[in-house]
A and B are shown apart, each in its own frame.
Chain A
Amino acid sequence: MILDLHAHSNASDDSRAPIEGYLKWLQKKREVVPVDGIVLTEHRQWSSEVDYRDLEDRYDTLILRGAEVETDYGHILLYGVTDEMARRFDFTDVHLRAQEVVTEVDRMGGIATPCHPGRPSIGLCEHYESKPALEGVRAVEALNGGSRRGENERVRGVMDEYGYKGFGGSDAHLVSLIGICATDFAADICDIDGLVRELRDGSYRAVDFRERVRAARG
């Protein structure tokens, strides 16, 4: 099962993509971008009142939700966000303490995963050059669709050194970029608990559809 684990709708300040736009695109481009679902990971925010079941049914696409927060070790994707987590951490704070986030989110039943680790300043790799490694990290975003040349490649070293699993996400902020990078899970996932379980202990790998997308556009 293939999921895009990192996408931003127009709820994020720098995205112009309506959620339905993503779904229409995936529906029409299934042969090029064979993604079964997406995870919306909006910047610095969380609302438990949002419900996308109607859209899921209409487009036969799984829609899960997480969040992207900002910490002293760079940006981190949170999956399995609960109201308790949103009370525990101010998601709008750009100086969250990464170790607290990783530890507490795990304790509360979710998983915190550093994203675009190879990116300057907001990626884990650079912080690991001068700070102790975070405890409790299980997986990092090995493939990010918005990263520049060389940034994804930087992640391999950290993954090997610390034994991190790697997943993929598009980091889409535009409709046409959804699913260009994603994660291929061995197991079927039908809800956020399942995603958290698989990210923690399951089998998965990052997949890259960028060349297919480029070839399809000619």
Chain B
Amino acid sequence: MLDFGDDIPQLRQTLSSEQIAEYVKSANQVAPRFLSDEGGRKDGLPGQIAPGNMSLALFARLLEGAAANVEVRRISATFRSFVRPRVALVASGVVTDVEERDDGCLLECDLMLETESGERLVTGTGTVFVAQG
């Protein structure tokens, strides 16, 4: 059971161009910048980028890995820098508050999505309810 100050098990992932394209198609969020490098450059970007929502989805997976019987109640994210395909990503989190309830506990967490070299791409927070038992 996670306690105050504990790290959530990290998630490491490198997104492919195809994964990003599939995500936006499944999420009704198709736009040229999310489909190809050429599409991104036409929008004045360095190339293809992943939508912020995909980082949110990664944070949700990270939070669900925090413990068994987890309900994600809230996720908040600030998209600081572009998330690009073919870049190794590390999603991490730490518990910053624990509130005991009768049937479990509520955990507040700080969340971070960084490159392997430590560049912070997305920061955020999340709240999960961990049921007892």
* Chain A residues in the interface with B (C-beta under 8 A): 14, 16, 21, 24-25, 28-29, 148-149, 173-177, 217-218
Contacts and interface: CB of A to CB of B under 8 A. Distances in A.
A148 B78 CA distance: 16
Nearest to B118: A149
A217 B7 contact: yes
Contact of A176 (B76, B78, B94, B119): B94
Given A28-B5, A173-B123, A218-B7, 12 more contacts: A14-B78, A16-B124, A24-B4, A24-B96, A29-B5, A174-B96, A175-B96, A175-B108, A175-B110, A176-B110, A177-B110, A217-B94
Contacts of B76: 16
Interface of B: 4-5, 7, 76, 78, 94, 96-97, 108, 110, 119, 123-125
Sorted from nearest, which 8 A-B pairs have the closest CB atoms?
A175-B96, A16-B125, A176-B110, A174-B110, A176-B94, A16-B76, A21-B96, A175-B110
A217 B119 CA distance: 17
A148 B125 CA distance: 21
Given A16-B76, A28-B5, A176 B123 contact: no
A58 to B, nearest CB: 15
Nearest to B97: A21
16 contacts: A16-B76, A16-B125, A21-B97, A21-B108, A24-B97, A25-B5, A25-B96, A149-B119, A173-B78, A174-B96, A174-B110, A175-B108, A176-B110, A217-B7, A217-B94, A218-B7
B123 A28 contact: no
Nearest to A20: B97
Contacts of B4: 24, 28
A21 B5 CA distance: 12
Contacts of B78: 14, 173
Nearest to A32: B5
B29 to A, nearest CB: 23
Nearest to A24: B97
